[in-house]
Amino acid sequence: QVRLVESGGGQVQAGGSLRLSCAASGYTSGSNCMGWFRQAPGKEREGVAAISAGGGETYYADSVEGRFTISRDNAKNTVYLLMNSLKPEDTAMYYCAAGWSSWCGGGWSSKFEYSYWGQGTQVTVSS
């Protein structure tokens, strides 16, 4: 059974940093595009970042470009999201997701491109 478990969320002041982790089990995450999404109350779930199976290609939403870094360690079946210079508008539940294929592509930010989801980890940024 495929399982994705996020960790690393918490409360931080604006300008601070957090690193989220997503541990995968039940399959080899190294064969899939992996993404991070977030959803704030009353808003749609939005794509934050994605990384190809081999880690050679990364994708970011404009709102986080230059502040967030996605990476992966396939030997550990884990994907990371390093978040720097956090802003109050980054407050949301963050989810990791496994894509249908090894390639992320132009549709990386669409939730329909992902087959498995974690339960989420809350990130709260105070001003």
Contacts of 94 (CB under 8 A, 6+ apart): 6, 9, 20, 36, 37, 38, 48, 81, 120, 121, 122, 123
Can you give the pLDDT at residue 31? 85
Residue spans of the chain under pLDDT 70: 27-29
Can you give the pLDDT at residue 28? 66
Can you give the pLDDT at residue 30? 74
- To the nearest whole number, what is the mean pLDDT of the chain? 95
Instruction: Give the tens place of pLDDT for each residue, 45-77.
Output: 999 999 999 999 999 999 999 999 999 999 999
Can you give the pLDDT at residue 103? 87
